[in-house]
Amino acid sequence: MPPKSTSSSAPSNSVQSLLKSYTDTTSPRLKLIDTLLLFLMLSGIIQFVYCILVTNFPFNAFLAGFGSCVGQFVLTASLRSQVNPANRAEFKEVSPERAFAEFALGSIVLHFFVYNFLG
């Protein structure tokens, strides 16, 4: 996002510095997680807008699709907070491997319910 003019230089400077510090200081792991979170959020928004503007029929399909995004987002967000080195003190007894295993198990259970509910 390059700055367009000098008049907006102050806000774009801060956005740029935010992006720069994010790029520099965030581990690739967390970037991977953030990519997934962003994707889930966009997918959920698209489905919600479609439901509002076009149709909510069949409603169970909407609940399943939207619920899978929300559920996966929550699980991924918890994984992110558990594997974030900044939160190491908070989750002393939870190793990143255990956090990932819990995340994977939770997701599989979630998807099981989602596909049951979809059709």
Partner 1 sequence: MVSPWRFLPFLGFAAAALAKSSTGESVLIVLDPDLYIENFSRFFDGLEARGYDLTYRRPKDVYPPVIEHDHPKYAHVIFFAPEVKTYSQDITPQSLVTLLSKNTNLLIAVGTKATPLTSLAAEFSLILPPPGTPLVSHFPERDTPATVVPVNVSNPVVSEDLPPVWFSGVPFAFGNNPHIVPILNAPPQSFAADSDSDSGADALVDAANKGGEGLWAGSSLGLVAGFQTLGGGRATWVGGVELFSDEYAQKPAPNGGKSGNEQFASDVAAWTFQETGVLRVDDTTHHRVNETAPRDKYTINEHVTYTMHVSKYNPTSAVWEPYSGIDDMQLEFTMLDPHIRTALKPTPEKPGEYSLTFRIPDRHGVFKFNVDYKRRGWTYLQSTTVVPVVPPRHDEYPRFLSPAWPYYAGAISTSAAFLAFCALWLAGEEPKKAKSTKFD
Contact status: 68 vs partner 1 (CB under 8 A): yes
Q: Does 77 bind partner 1 (CB under 8 A)?
A: no
Q: If you search the block for the tokens 């149709």, which residue do you land on?
A: 55
Measured in Å, how far apart are the chain's first and last C-alpha atoms?
42
How far CA 5 is from CA of 8, 11, 13, 16, 99, in Å, comes to 6, 11, 11, 14, 45
Q: Binding segment for partner 1 among 1-9, 10-18, 111-119 (CB under 8 A)?
A: 111-119
Contact pick of 3, 16, 34, 61 for partner 1 (by CB under 8 A) = 61
Number of Cβ atoms within 10 Å of the Cβ of 66 = 19
| Cα dist from 99 to 1, 71, 106, whole Å | 34, 16, 11
From the list 12, 16, 34, 36, which residue makes contact with partner 1 (rule: CB under 8 A)? 36
Site residues for partner 1 per CB under 8 A:
27-29, 32-33, 36, 39-40, 43-44, 46-47, 50, 54-55, 57-58, 61-62, 64-66, 68-69, 72, 76, 85, 96, 100, 104, 107, 111, 114-115, 118-119
